[in-house]
Amino acid sequence: MATNVAASRLQGTGANALELDGVGRQFGALTALSGINMRIAPGERRAVLGSNGAGKTTLFNTITGDFHPTSGSIRFFGEDITTLAVHERIRRGLRRTYQISQLFTNLTVRESIYLAYRGVSRNRFSLLRPRVSDSAMAQAESISHAVHLDGERDKTVGTLSHGQQRQLEIALALAGAPRFILFDEPAAGLSPTERRDLIEILNALPKHIGYIIIEHDLDVALRVSEYVSMMHNGQLFTEGTPEEIENDPRVQEIYLGGGHG
């Protein structure tokens, strides 16, 4: 089994970062996703657009393993991860953020990022206190810097502003050598200044880290992505460069004319 995993990882070196083949998800009679095919190269930055209820977050939940697809398969750097548990996928370099911040309200910023690093490294069960010299602590320093949270390291997460919590969301996804990140509406509820900050943070990510970003704000989405997929009613209906998508009349009808918000 272990050798199989290793072998599939080796094969995966030249493969796509993420490959979805006919992925579908049903909730009883409701079809939330159907026939999703997606190929995303390593380091590629992709935006997924679509009106509310188009299935974007369901797509993320299926990729991270919050629930398994009812049909189709998911490959991550060549390895089939369709039935893996969430934490197994994360340890292979997949990360995500949430539309509504999912944070540890009673921990500090530093401790949160420390845990995010620890989750994908050894000594998760350590009964010793983390030392300040711990490499994970050093990571917490540099990541909090990368998401512009230098001054808040020792603050309790519950006391942070909404914008800072959104930044911490991103920090948790950056800890511990991610290879691919799913950003679920990182700009939700941010002020214009904070949005500029966010674009800066995303564009400053190391080039080898690819991501998919779900974003309602086209200004943000089109400035941080190279390629755009449009979703509607649980299906992908068109893909293209930001310019092509912006000028596609169908997109304007469905997305901008429809339930935008």
Partner 1 sequence: MSDLPLSPAQKPAGARSWIETLGLAHILLGLFLLIYPAMASDFFLTQIGGYSLVLGMISLSLMLLAGYGGMVSLAQITVAGAAGYVVAIFGVNNSGVHGFGWPWWVFVPLAIAIASLVSALIGWIAVRTEGIYTIMITLAVATACFYFTQQNYALFNGFPGYNGLRAPEVFGVYWRDPVPFYYLCLAMATLAYAAVLYGARSTFGLTLQAIRDNPRRMRAIGFNVTAHKVFAWWLAGLIAGAAGVLLVWFNGRISPGTIAVGPAINILVIAIIGGLRHPIGPFLGAVVVTLMQTFAIDIIGAERFNTLIGLVFLLIVFISPDGILGLWERFRPQAGREDWRTFRTATKQVGNKGRKT
64 touches partner 1 by CB under 8 A: yes
> What are 194's two structure tokens?
């904070």
Give CB contacts under 8 A, 24+ apart, made by 23-28. 23/59, 23/62, 23/69, 23/71, 23/72, 23/73, 23/74, 24/69, 24/70, 24/71, 24/72, 25/58, 25/62, 25/67, 25/69, 25/70, 26/70
Phi, psi of 33 (to 5 degrees): -140, 145
**Lookup result for tokens 């949005």:** 195
**Rounded least distance, CB 178 to partner 1, Å:** 10
Question: For the window 125-164, what string marks contact with partner 1 as x by the rule CB under 8 A?
Answer: xxxxxx-x---------------------x-x-xx-----
> What are 158's two structure tokens?
């519950």
103 touches partner 1 by CB under 8 A: yes
Q: Of these, 5, 10, 27, 66, which contacts partner 1 (CB under 8 A)?
A: 66
- Which residue's CB is nearer to partner 1, number 136 or number 202? 136
183 touches partner 1 by CB under 8 A: no
48 touches partner 1 by CB under 8 A: no
Q: Which of 226, 225, 228, 224 is nearest to 238 (CA)?
A: 228
Q: Of these, 24, 104, 199, 238, which contacts partner 1 (CB under 8 A)?
A: 104
Torsion from C-alpha of 237, 223, 116, 188, nearest 10 degrees: -80
118 touches partner 1 by CB under 8 A: yes
Q: Of these, 19, 79, 111, 194, which contacts partner 1 (CB under 8 A)?
A: 111
> What are 226's two structure tokens?
């190279």
> What are 120's two structure tokens?
């994908």
Q: Of these, 100, 145, 200, 256, which contacts partner 1 (CB under 8 A)?
A: 100
Alpha helix (H) ranges present in 97-134? 109-118
Report which residue type is found at 57.
Answer: T
Q: Of these, 4, 5, 124, 247, which contacts partner 1 (CB under 8 A)?
A: 124
**Rounded least distance, CB 58 to partner 1, Å:** 14
**Lookup result for tokens 């420390």:** 114
199 touches partner 1 by CB under 8 A: no
SS3 content of the chain, % helix, strand, coil (to 5): 40, 25, 40
Q: Total number of residues binding partner 1 (CB under 8 A)? A: 43
Q: Of these, 9, 71, 78, 91, which contacts partner 1 (CB under 8 A)?
A: 91
68 touches partner 1 by CB under 8 A: no
- Which residue's CB is nearer to partner 1, number 104 or number 227? 104
> What are 182's two structure tokens?
């799913």
Which residues would be at the binding site for partner 1 (CB under 8 A)? 64, 66, 85-87, 90-91, 95-96, 98, 100, 102-108, 110-112, 114-116, 118-120, 123-130, 132, 154, 156, 158-159, 172, 175-176
